[in-house]
Amino acid sequence: MIVLKGAEVSARIKEQVQRMLEGWDGPAPKLAIVRVGENPDDMSYERGAKKKLESFGLRVDSYTYPADISDADFKEAFRAVNEDRDVSGILLLRPLPKQIREKDIEKMIDPGKDLDGISPANIAKVFAGDASGFAPCTAEAVVEVLKQNDIGITGKRTVIVGRSMVVGKPLSMLMLKENATVTICHTRTKDLEETCRGAEILVAAAGRAKMLNGEYVGKEAVVVDVGINVDENGKLCGDVDFEAIQDTAAMATPVPGGVGAVTTAVLAKHLVRAALERRR
């Protein structure tokens, strides 16, 4: 089985980003990471994104607010970041605390700065197959992993386990745009094992540690594991039992070291696109 390493895909995206920035003068594009509270998962993602973007020569600033901030105060603070001309793109770490009406923020965010595709305008574009918007970075990262490794998508039986608005649903639209034949699975899916086994491209985005074992993976399948979980020994793992598929899958992404590294590279590419579009 060939291991599809995220670092290699990320390095190629870095080259693209550097080409996009040729001729750029003045301070590098700036990402604003907006975080409410101190969720350790958010803070770890924030650190990873900051490190990656800075290694691409981009600027990152964190805007953090207490977990008990009121809806009105958060909206005022968010509006200021949204309108700041020095900020080219925004990453909002979610979910937000319950007192903040997240739906309002999704409508407030400037679609041109909405790098993770949470605004209705960007969601509509993803579903319409219009590439001028921003798709959620993780969903796009899955497509990047396939394309950068020259894995054909057209006509392939593609099974996506998970139907969230962050991964499963937008990814199914992005894969459809690439002419895959897409099946979306979820907790009510019957015959999940058999459906997954029939996939030529299998994407796991369920958030269940090592749930997809050898029985779920067909011979020569390409497996992309989006899951980030902690196993019974406290170690990071994906939704796929990586050891159990070694003899059946043709290729698979590891966790850690797979899709996660590509997600932050896609975020960097989105930031540069947003900055270039704003300048035009």
Tokens of 128: 């319409």
Taking each continuous run of H as one helix and of E as one strand, the counts in the chain are 9, 11
Which CB sits closer to ligand NAP, 13 or 226? 226
The reply to whether 183 sits near ligand NAP by the rule CB under 6 A is: no
Cβ(167)–Cβ(137) under 8 Å? no
Select from 113, 156, 163, 210 the one that contacts ligand NAP (CB under 6 A): 163
Select from 205, 252, 272, 275 the one that contacts ligand NAP (CB under 6 A): 205
Which CB sits closer to ligand NAP, 116 or 178? 116
Distances (CA, A) of 18 to 31, 97, 111, 145, 154: 16, 37, 24, 19, 29
The reply to whether 153 sits near ligand NAP by the rule CB under 6 A is: no
Select from 207, 214, 254, 257 the one that contacts ligand NAP (CB under 6 A): 207
Site for ligand NAP in 248-267 (CB under 6 A): 259-260, 263
- Give the x-and-dash track for 52-91 against ligand NAP (CB under 6 A): ----------------------------------------
Which CB sits closer to ligand NAP, 249 or 267? 267
The reply to whether 181 sits near ligand NAP by the rule CB under 6 A is: no
- What are the two backbone dihedrals, phi and then psi, of residue 161, each rounded to the nearest 5 degrees? -95, 110
Min dist. Cβ of residue 9 to ligand NAP (A):
12
Select from 162, 223, 252, 268 the one that contacts ligand NAP (CB under 6 A): 162
Which CB sits closer to ligand NAP, 206 or 274? 206
Cβ(247)–Cβ(7) under 8 Å? no
Contact window for ligand NAP (CB under 6 A) among 26-34, 72-80, 92-100, 225-233? 225-233
Distances (CA, A) of 145 to 2, 38, 116, 142: 13, 31, 18, 5
The reply to whether 177 sits near ligand NAP by the rule CB under 6 A is: no
For residues 57 and 21, what is the distance between their CA atoms, to the nearest angstrom? 10
Residue 262: which residues within 8 A CB-CB, separation 6 or more?
A: 6, 9, 10, 13, 141, 144, 145
For residues 62 and 17, what is the distance between their CA atoms, to the nearest angstrom? 22
Residue 243: which residues within 8 A CB-CB, separation 6 or more?
A: none
Which helix or strand (DSSP H or E) is residue 46 part of?
A: helix 40-55
DSSP state of 23: T
Min dist. Cβ of residue 27 to ligand NAP (A):
27
The reply to whether 185 sits near ligand NAP by the rule CB under 6 A is: yes
The reply to whether 186 sits near ligand NAP by the rule CB under 6 A is: yes
Q: Which residues bind ligand NAP (CB under 6 A)?
A: 138, 161-164, 166-168, 185-189, 192, 205-208, 211, 226-229, 259-260, 263
